[in-house]
Amino acid sequence: MSRTNYEAAVDALVQASSICIITHLRPDADAVGSAAALTLALRQRGKQTRTVIGQRRDISANLFSIPTVDEIELVDELPQGYDLYVTVDCGSIDRTGSVARGIEEMAAVGRVLCIDHHASNDGFGAINVVDPVCESTTVVLLDILDRLSIQIDRVIAHCLYAGLVTDTGNFRWGRPAMHDIAARLMLYGLDTKQIALELMDASTADDLQMIGRVLSGLRIEAAGEHRLAVLFVPHEEVSTHADSAIESFVDYVRALKGTDIGVVFKEQAPEVWAVSLRSSAVNCAEVALTFGGGGHIPAAGYTAHGTPEEVIAQLVGVLS
Ligand code: 5GP
Ligand code: MN
């Protein structure tokens, strides 16, 4: 099965008159930026659209700075009766949460288009455009919107830029082309300083104090020849602070001197941890896949179950 079939994707989008767009659980800026940009583009083409996430948990407050994110619905089941279902930024079908079963059923009858950039994505759609060369799903999407002759405007450009600036760590990693794409998007009149401020820099004194508490618990663990920088964010902190503050931890451990792997365990529910892995020494996507997760080679994640000592032992076991 081809993982990058742009022609079939464009045909499917042109043919469909009603389209349901789905992005992943615990969405980030690339997830909601992709969903919003595609929704706006398809509306421009006169399509009937609905945009959903398969979870009840609120979308992180900072992401509402991206245009039309307030229109994304949180659902328990996949809305029925759409000609086409498009997943954006979902590296595997389980990342679609409560709508995964519905998507599986629609894929079986040829009605799912998967647009993504995760290396670990095996192409769960009936049609797939999975391009791991692209820095963000919004970059994959820009190519598709161009092929559909969509008129990019400031609002669509804002959505696309939000995914690009965050998934490249503020343009720290990516191809030279990421700067060309950013330059093109800026020319639609984006206030990139304000966009970055609203997306990444807005935190409260309470968030900052929580960051101090968690950082003071930093652990260095050995796993064979590897050294891990590990942070645990307990459930009482995860459940009472902004997602943007919780997601900022990984930046402290991604390249700590004397370590080669950064790990953040975020306790979503008691003893249920969303795990973030970062490394330039090991293939994070491969490690995450062994735990049923996935992602990119330098950045990946999975869900772990157990006490802090148990989840660290599970990871050390795989890395040793
Ligand atoms: P983060 O650590 O920022 O949450 O995620 C890093 C990368 O790994 C992202 O591209 C994200 O989509 C992917 N990822 C994180 N958690 C999971 C997971 O549980 N399953 C899969 N398939 N991918 C994940
Ligand atoms: Mn992404």
pLDDT tens for residues 247-264? 999 999 999 999 999 999
Mention every residue, 6+ apart, whose C-beta is less than 8 A from residue 184: none
pLDDT band, residue 200 (cuts 50/70/90): confident
Instruction: For residue 189, give the CATH number of its domain.
Output: 3.90.1640.10
Do 97 and 122 lie in a common domain? Answer: yes
Do 235 and 131 lie in a common domain? Answer: no
Q: How far apart are CA 103 and CA 98, in angstroms?
A: 10
The pLDDT of residue 242 = 87
**Torsion of the alpha carbons at 228, 234, 235 and 241, rounded to the nearest 10:** -100
Do 240 and 174 lie in a common domain? Answer: no
Do 140 and 260 lie in a common domain? Answer: no
The pLDDT of residue 69 = 98
Give the mean pLDDT of 266-280.
97
Mention every residue, 6+ apart, whose C-beta is less than 8 A from residue 146: none
Do 149 and 252 lie in a common domain? Answer: no
Do 183 and 271 lie in a common domain? Answer: no
Do 16 and 75 lie in a common domain? Answer: yes
Ligand 1 contact, 276 CB (< 6 A):
yes
Other Cβ atoms less than 10 A from the Cβ of 247: the count is 20
Do 146 and 246 lie in a common domain? Answer: no
Share of the chain above pLDDT 90, in %: 97
Do 30 and 176 lie in a common domain? Answer: yes
pLDDT tens for residues 126-161? 999 999 999 999 999 999 999 999 999 999 999 999
Domain boundary among 199, 217, 241: 199
Give the residues across from 229 on adjacent strands.
Answer: 220, 262
Instruction: For residue 290, give the CATH number of its domain.
Output: 3.10.310.30
Do 56 and 136 lie in a common domain? Answer: yes
Q: How many domains in the chain?
A: 2
Give residue 31's domain range: 6-199
Q: How far apart are CA 192 and CA 135, in angstroms?
A: 18
Q: Over the chain, what is the mean pLDDT?
A: 96
Do 215 and 245 lie in a common domain? Answer: yes
Instruction: Return the exposure string of 298-313: e unless at least 16 CB atoms fall within 10 Å of the residue's CB, then b.
Output: bbbbbebeeebeebbe
Give the mean pLDDT of 46-66.
96
**Torsion of the alpha carbons at 130, 133, 134 and 137, rounded to the nearest 10:** 30
Q: Is the pLDDT of residue 202 over 80?
A: no
Residue 1 lies in a domain: no
Q: Which ligand 1 atom minimizes the distance to the CA of 284?
A: 8
Q: Which ligand 1 atom minimizes the distance to the CA of 302?
A: 19
Ligand 1 contact, 299 CB (< 6 A):
yes
The pLDDT of residue 2 = 62
Distance 213 CA to ligand 2 centre (A): 29
Do 26 and 119 lie in a common domain? Answer: yes
pLDDT band, residue 1 (cuts 50/70/90): very low
Give the mean pLDDT of 194-209.
91
Distance 224 CA to ligand 2 centre (A): 31
